[in-house]
Structure 1
Amino acid sequence: MTMKSQFNGLPLPAFEVNNELLVVDCSMEAEELFGECRKFTDIVDADSLQKAKKLLRIESSLQKFELNLVSKRGDLLLVDVHAKRNDPTLLSLVIVLKDSQLEHVAGQLSKLRERLRDTDYDLFQEKERTLELLQKVRGLSAPCIQLDKQRLLIPLFGDLTEEQVLAFTPRLLVRIYETQADTVIFDLTAMGRINDDGLRHLDSLLQSFSLMGTSSIFTGVKPEHAKRLHRIRTKQPMCFVASLQDVLSSDKWPSKS
């Protein structure tokens, strides 16, 4: 193609493209720098692609604009493109590389873009690790303690939220099934607020207790807790005791072990 090219003798990369940007002709320098390409946009960097398509559609006798092109070795090149429309169907493009300093900057930007992609992946992994740790913290905020064969103790810490209830529910239900415990004691002494979603999921948990034949006792209940828990008291029988010590020392709730 280059032996009969109109660009023979031109010491610059040059292309002739049609309206679909298919390469009709190119100089030897273009082939040496970019290799054989069927379409001019094949050598345009992804970040410059929309710009190139837009500018090369403009009906104009002469244009000059900057693009980032990719050489056949994969190098990112910052260039000036001089475009001249020869007729309604053909466009000549002459490529002039920027000086070495600008080319160096373009290379640095390419490396920075790669590092940002790596950083995005690292941030994603860090987010996954953070979520795992958060889930463990939520689980630790409601440890499951077996007092004896029939009773399990769940001391609650912090606010009672949907996330917290969902974190300890599977573990608690498995322990009830494994131990055949007939009573779960929730100690609210160190608990903060109860939000609506947390209350709703607690209600569902207590309904699961009912199906398993397990009763519930609430201790350390503050006035603000009682107002919230009253919403589910009519749906699910619950026993309220002033303190955990009262439960453990009273004969009213004896261990059956």
Structure 2
Amino acid sequence: MNTGYQFDGLPLPAIQLNNSLSVISCSQEASSLFGDFTALRDIVDEGSLKKAGNLLKPQKTPIKFELNFVTKDLELILADVYGKWDSDFSLSVIIVPKMDEMSGVSTQLRLLQNRLRETDYDLFQEKELTLKLLERVRLLSAPCIQLNQQQVLIPLFGDLTKAKVIAIRDPLLESIHNFKAETVLVDFTAVDRIDEKGLDEWEALLQSLKVMGKECIITGLKPEHAKSLHLMNSRLTMRFSASLLGVLSGNR
């Protein structure tokens, strides 16, 4: 397996596959996470193989979906898969593992919410814990990932609401400042609904990035998101890209 891969500088697993989904080359991060493998089927959970084969067929548009992988330590992990066909015979894939902490917190939250629905006595302490877990989920739904000295990636998940933006604002600004990144890549691929007040708070967050001298590039927009963010762009300096993979490979 060749590890001399074009995205080797990324702190994320990256793989180049041929049209039969066999490995052409992979990044050091992919080798460290999955060990020695020669085809995608070697690292994808058996129950996800059919899904992977159906979604990774040659196509012109960028690909994004979730998939279960098996690490070299035989641990099952859920990850976002970003793919782009460079030609009919070459597919570039970047794997962004979901945060284990977020998964654990979400499980605890669901259990507590079920208990609150099923009981009719006072659960004040449990309610307090539920609120704290909700706040933690909001924080984890916008992790800040340093890609290199110049770029950080913020993949957003779920609805973009006022409460979420307020929760993630200070930690994100602090992380971006500490990383000393010049460019902030914000991926909207996994965003569902954008609340109007959430959009107002998001604009204020982008204004803060502008004051800090950071360039913001928005990727993965859905048609329903584009109009709102386009209007915002008339007031703020932002750049848009059709896919995260295109930005990471230098094609904005």
Residue 210 of structure 1: how far off its partner (Å): 1.1
Matched, 1:175 2:175: yes
1:221 alignment partner in structure 2: 221
For 2:165 and 2:225, locate their aligned partners in 1 and report how far apart those are by CA, in whole Å.
16
User: Which residue of 1 is the match for residue 208 of structure 2?
Assistant: 208
Q: 1:103-140 CA deviation, whole Å, 9 max, x = no partner? A: xxxxxxxxxxxxxxxx9995221111000000111111
Deviation at 1:222, TM superposition (A): 1.0
Secondary structure of the corresponding residue to residue 221 of structure 1: coil
1:121/1:209 CA distance change after superposition, 3 Å: farther
Q: Which deviations, in whole Å up to 9, do the C-alpha atoms of 1:147-205 show, x marking residues without a partner?
A: 11121111111111111111211111001221211111110111111110110001000
Name the SS of the counterpart of 1:152 in structure 2: strand
Residue type of the partner of 1:248? Answer: L
The residue aligned with 2:158 is: 158
2:128 equivalent to 1:137: no
1:226, distance to aligned residue in structure 2 (A): 0.5
Separation of aligned partners in 2, 1:153 and 1:126: 34
1:193 to 1:164, Cα distance in 2 relative to 1, 3 A = same
Query: Cα distance, 1:251 vs. partner?
Result: 5.6
RMSD: 1.9
Structure 2: how far apart are the matches of 1:179 and 1:146? 7
Secondary structure of the residue aligned to 1:208 is: helix
Amino acid at match of 1:153: L
User: What is the identity, as a one-letter code, of the residue corresponding to 1:214?
Assistant: K
CA separation in 1, counterparts of 2:246 and 2:171?
26
Equivalence map 1:86-97=2 (5 Å) = none
Q: Distance in 1 between matches of 2:121 and 2:150?
A: 48
Partner in structure 1 of residue 237 of structure 2: 237
How far apart in 1 are the matches of 2:213 and 2:147? 18
Quote the residue 1:197 is aligned against: 197
Secondary structure of 1:235's match?
coil
The one-character-per-residue Cα deviations of 1:9-42 (angstroms, maximum 9, x if unpaired) are: xxxxxxxxxxxxxxxxxxxxxxxxxxxxxxxxxx
SS in structure 1 of the partner of residue 123 of structure 2 = helix
Structure 1 segments unaligned to the other structure (5+ residues): 1-118, 253-257
Give the length in aligned residue pairs: 134
Letter in 2 for 1:175: S
In structure 1, the residue matched to 2:128 is: 128
Identity among equivalent positions (%) equals 55
> 2:249 is matched with which residue?
249
Distance 1:178 1:121 in 2: 46
How far apart, in 2, do the equivalents of 1:127 and 1:231 lie? 39
d(CA) in 2 for partners of 1:179, 1:143: 13
Q: Deviations over 1:58-117 (max 9, x none)?
A: xxxxxxxxxxxxxxxxxxxxxxxxxxxxxxxxxxxxxxxxxxxxxxxxxxxxxxxxxxxx
Provide the rounded CA distance (Å) in 2 between the counterparts of 1:222 and 1:189.
Answer: 7
The secondary structure found in structure 2 opposite 1:148 is coil
Return closer, same or farther for 1:223/1:208 CA change in 2, 3 Å cut-off: same
Q: Tell me: CA distance 1:180–1:131, structure 2 relative to 1, closer, same or farther (3 Å).
A: same
Three-state SS of the structure 1 residue aligned to 2:190 is: strand
Structure 2, unaligned stretches of length 5 or more? 1-118
> Within 1, Cα distance between the matches of 2:224 and 2:237?
19
